[in-house]
Amino acid sequence: MAKEKAKQKPVGAKTSLLHHVKKEWKLYSFLVLPILYYVVFKYVPVLGNIIAFRKYKGGSNILGEEWVGFRYFRQFLTDPSFWKAFGNTLRLSIGYLLVRFPATLIFALLINEIRKTAWKRTVQTVSYLPHFISLVVVCGMVKELLAGNGPVNALLQALGMEKIAFMSEPGWFDAVYIISGVWQALGWGTILYLTAMTNINTELYEASAIDGAGRFKQAIHVTIPGILPTIMTLLIMDIGGIVTSNNMQKILLLYNPLTQERADIIGTLVYRMGISGGNFSYASAVGLFEAVIGLILVTSANFLSRKLTETSLW
Amino acid sequence: MNIKQSKGYQVFRIFNTVIMIFVIFVTLYPFIYLVAQSFSNDAAVGAGKVTFFPIDFTLETYKYILTKDDSFFRFYGNTILYSVVGTFISVAGTALLAYPLSKPKLRLNKFFTPFVVFTMYFTGGMIPNYILITQWLGMGDTIWAIILPGAISTFNLLLMKSFFTGLPDELEEAASIDGMGVYGIFARIILPLSKPILATMTLFYLVGMWNEWFGPFLYLNTRDKWPIALWVRQLVEGANNVDVSSTAEASSVQATLKSATMVLTSLPIMCVYPFVQKYFVQGMTIGAVKG
């Protein structure tokens, strides 16, 4: 109904833009402060990337001293510690994605099979909880649980195994990072899938039941195709996030000099180089490189998804 | 519905229940462990005896935090202040932007919508942000450095925009015919109808602000301005830079202090979110369905 009315409107579409703004100035006035916010806090930093191409010294000229072109880019591209961080970023993000993505989907499918409403609600409420806890507390918990005399090691010993120094052995960092991440994200990640599942036409299930499909076949042939657009949308966004520093805060809280060789990612490198080390231009160059790769990844994933499944973010 | 209860399906349901119980246990255990530690004797914690229940149950740690050390209240108070002011600014800003963007008749939205959405995929990065806050805007060591940079989340904005788009136009048109202006319609028609999404936004921003540590970590030099999350971080990072008074009393609570502070930090949110759950699931749903 609302749609029909909207269709009648383009009568005024031919009036000039100035006239349109004058007529609707009250609605536009809502935008002033928020758009100003976006300009200052989102776009000015984008432009601030200029210092990646200029030699920057704090204090004097806020835009840097002089143009140096791609000097800082050449510098980090030949820096072994950059390539180590780059490799760690890919390994940790892709590993996390490969575990978390299917785990969330399977968990959603399993929750969907619960018939008792109260039990379903309980499972959901409990599984959302870790999403609401501060990263600082989550990482604190991880350290407590995995400590030398913590419960995980107590369990290992009870099973007749050796204690493991989880937090100081580089080889364990991936597992600690990935499992704690799944722990925090699992329940929250199911919300959109479960929503999409409730929107699937129940007739499809009835029809497939008549065809003799059991619950498992129904999940494969009805539920999963029904939520495919949701799966693709979330996958595109996750792929875009592979190199971006979403997880930088967590690594900053979890890593230490002993695990750094496996744990240092681009985000933590930028932090150490820039904020701690004061090499603002160098760190900006690394950050800009990361952001551009992230944009390329999300754009390609979006393009591929549109071609293959006709689902896309834009 | 006639679901065929085959043998296989029955086995699956038992298996499914077992998995769910396992997930619930794994999700809750870290919290149980933390709470048990916080009520235990420090020596028992140090010896690694605590697993499920407090050993030598004591309230000493909480008593110490709440009465002997005023830093807890200072940091907790800061967190409350930042969260309340920040959430108010964020929710107001998001609503103000989302409302006009949900109006297809506004022709400039062809520009404003992509302008806003672009920032989801490309941002300035840590260093330009740091320079902007500390040097260009001179907000270092102020509440604004923590609140303003993340004030509007574009993801939340899109959720709210879809909610507004879903509201019936007829109400606004009727109000407009009755002589109500744009501002009146927004305040007296739109906002009261938007309680579910406003509750969702409030929770999301409140949780974000309550848990925030990185902004304060970057921008707050004065320790007295710290939020509780930063205090927790310092406790967790180890005693090397914690200035604990050298009294025997202080050192006797050191190990349990961490757990108790973590419990107290998480408690308010753990108490609130189950009650708002209905709203945020609804909010996410609307946003996801409408895109």
Flag whether pLDDT at B240 surpasses 80. Answer: no
For residues B5 and A1, which has the higher predicted lDDT (pLDDT)? Answer: B5
Q: Give the pLDDT score at A61.
A: 65
Q: Which of A134, A183, A289 to mutate to probe the B interface, most B CBs <10 Å?
A: A134
A24 contact B CB<8A: yes
Do B136 and A195 count as a contact with CB atoms less than 8 A apart? no
Q: A-contacting residues of B 56-115, CB under 8 Å? A: 93-94, 96-97, 99-101, 103-108, 112, 115
A288-303 residue pLDDT tens = 999 999 899 989 988 9
Do A199 and B270 count as a contact with CB atoms less than 8 A apart? no
pTM of the model: 0.89
Q: Which of B3, B22, B53, B127 to mutate to probe the A interface, most A CBs <10 Å?
A: B127
**DSSP symbols for A77-110:** HT-HHHHHHHHHHHHHHHHHHHHHHHHHHHHHHH
A35 contact B CB<8A: yes
A230-255 residue pLDDT tens = 898 888 888 888 877 668 999 999 99
> What is the average pLDDT score of chain B?
87
Q: Give the pLDDT score at B246.
A: 43
Do B181 and A42 count as a contact with CB atoms less than 8 A apart? no
User: Do A144 and B37 touch, CB atoms closer than 8 A?
Assistant: yes
Q: State the ipTM, two decimals.
A: 0.89
Q: Cα(A44)–Cα(A52) distance, rounded to whole angstroms?
A: 14
Name residue, tokens 């991880």. Answer: A142
B113-146 residue pLDDT tens = 999 999 988 888 899 999 999 988 999 999 999 9
Do B124 and A48 count as a contact with CB atoms less than 8 A apart? yes
Distance from CA of B262 to the nearest CA of A (A): 6
Instruction: Find the range with the poorest average confidence among A243-247, B16-20, B137-141, B147-151.
Output: A243-247
Instruction: Find the range with the poorest average confidence among A74-78, B39-43, B88-92, B284-288.
Output: B284-288
As a whole number, mean pLDDT of residues B97-107 equals 93
A139-161 residue pLDDT tens = 999 999 998 888 999 999 999 99
As a whole number, mean pLDDT of residues A197-222 equals 87
Please give the distance of CA A264 from its chain centroid, rounded to a whole number: 18
A10-42 residue pLDDT tens = 554 567 889 999 889 999 999 999 999 999 999
Which chain B residue lies closest to A299 (C-alpha atoms)? B121
Q: Give the pLDDT score at B288.
A: 59
Q: Name the H helices within B47-150.
A: 60-63, 71-101, 109-121, 126-131, 143-147
Name residue, tokens 């609600």. Answer: A121
Distance from CA of B233 to the nearest CA of A (A): 6
B23 contact A CB<8A: yes
* b/e map B141-175, b = 16+ CB within 10 Å: ebbbbbbbbbbbbbebbbbbbbbbbebeeeebeeb
Flag whether pLDDT at B283 surpasses 50. Answer: yes
Distance from CA of B147 to the nearest CA of A (A): 11
Q: Give the pLDDT score at A245.
A: 63
Flag whether pLDDT at A197 surpasses 70. Answer: yes
* DSSP label at residue A170: G
Q: Give the pLDDT score at A4.
A: 46
Q: Give the pLDDT score at B242.
A: 41
